[in-house]
Structure 1
Amino acid sequence: MPEKMDRRQARTKHLLHQALMELIEEKGIERITVTDIANRADVNRGTFYLHYRDVPDMLDKIMNEVFERLLGYTSRMDPRELSQYAYRDEPYPKLLDILEEIARNKDFFQTILGPNGDLSYAIRFRNMMASHIFNKFEYILPENGQMLVPRKYLVAYMASANFGMLMHWVESGMQESPYEMAMIATQLVNHGPIVSSGIREKSKNEV
């Protein structure tokens, strides 16, 4: 019986989540009511209140759940490992995990990062990437005097570039698979935008 109840609750939450995403796309976050969600999910208001206090509470919980899962994947990434895979022109498995998680939550990301979504979530996501990159690089990169550019600008460039790539993937309908996106990221990490664009050919060491 508990297992059956768990499946029923999971199905109800899925219906509520789906209803919320559809309504955000249609009318924006601010105009959605509990009644709207309950009607769209074909449940009563009491069922909604078994899971959430109100619409903002529901949205916060969903966003935090997705964010925490992404944070878990991101925290396992290591730039040194990434560079080794990039050197071999192979997708980095831990980056592939992140992209697959985003693909599993395609509707969520396309809605939240869309025109009627929540810009603060996009900023939070980008800042999380920057913070992780900075913390990792703090231990493995040489002092600023030995680098071509100051660390803070390198981190800002990498975080913004990777976030921009993810945003474009989401906004364009995720036409490429997570594997294809991981390969694109690998090429950019290994060869940089100038070589990747074809403006300059690979050096003999890069071929």
Structure 2
Amino acid sequence: MDRRIQKSRQAIIDAFMRLMSEKEFESITINQIAEEANVNRGTVYLHFKDKYDLRDQHLEAQINQLLHNCMSEDNMVHLPSKTTLLRTFEYLEQHASFYSLMLTSKGNTVFRNQVETMLRQKLTEHLDSINLDGKLNRDITVQFLISAAVGVLEWWIIRSMPYPASVMVEQFWNLLNQGIEGHQHGAISD
């Protein structure tokens, strides 16, 4: 991509994020984004259909970046290892301002929904690959684990990460193992 085009696109994204930190998503306009980015309105439309497309593309890029930086290729199908979880929490720490903004923006459930969708796919694939206790319904188990994982991440990020990533991973890992250990043949391995 041409450097000028890339620079304009980044200026638009940066302007959008600054505006998101100041006001509700629904009240942000393309004109405000263009003005904040110091580009004309047409330039915004060259890159994005509308503010929803801008938000969705940026969220998707951030989630893909998170996956790329934190997940190894062999962990893309199975649940992550403890090491991968630590890399993920550390990545979230390094990019706290973005994730905090996405989780605290009123009415902006898109980010949370995208994370839940990603986790749902991974957990479903994992539970299909293990010998889950017949007493447990796969769909209910997936929803329970997603709610727990997203809830813990959300709590940690919104509260300005009161515990280090290493403590969060250790606690999360222990809780996850306790929850699944009794319901499958063999606990999750490190």
2:83 is the alignment partner of 1:96: no
Q: Helix, strand or coil for the counterpart of 1:144?
A: coil
Taking the aligned partners of 1:15 and 1:143, their CA distance within structure 2 comes to 51
Q: TM-score, normalised by structure 1?
A: 0.68
The residue aligned with 1:53 is 49
The residue aligned with 1:24 is 20
Structure (1 or 2) with the larger CA radius of gyration = 1
The residue aligned with 2:76 is 76
Q: Contact 2:16–2:33 (CA<8 Å) still a contact in 1?
A: yes
1:127-164 Cα deviation digits (max 9, x unpaired): 3212311211111124515xxx3333332221111110
Q: TM-score, normalised by structure 2?
A: 0.73
- How many residue pairs are counted as aligned between the two chains? 175
Q: Give the CA deviation at 1:118.
A: 1.4
1:162 corresponds, among 141, 144, 149, to 149
2:129 is the alignment partner of 1:122: no
Q: 1:150 to 1:50 in 2, by over 3 A?
A: closer
Q: 1:171 to 1:33 in 2, by over 3 A?
A: same
Q: 1:142 to 1:32 in 2, by over 3 A?
A: closer
Larger relative contact order (C-alpha < 8 A, sep ≥ 6)?
A: 1
Taking the aligned partners of 2:155 and 2:142, their CA distance within structure 1 comes to 20
The residue aligned with 1:141 is 131
Unaligned runs of 5+ in 1: 83-91, 193-207
2:29 is the alignment partner of 1:33: yes
Q: Which amino acid aligns with 2:158?
A: E
Question: What's the C-alpha RMSD, in Å, of the aligned pairs?
Answer: 2.9
Taking the aligned partners of 2:165 and 2:58, their CA distance within structure 1 comes to 22
Taking the aligned partners of 2:107 and 2:100, their CA distance within structure 1 comes to 9
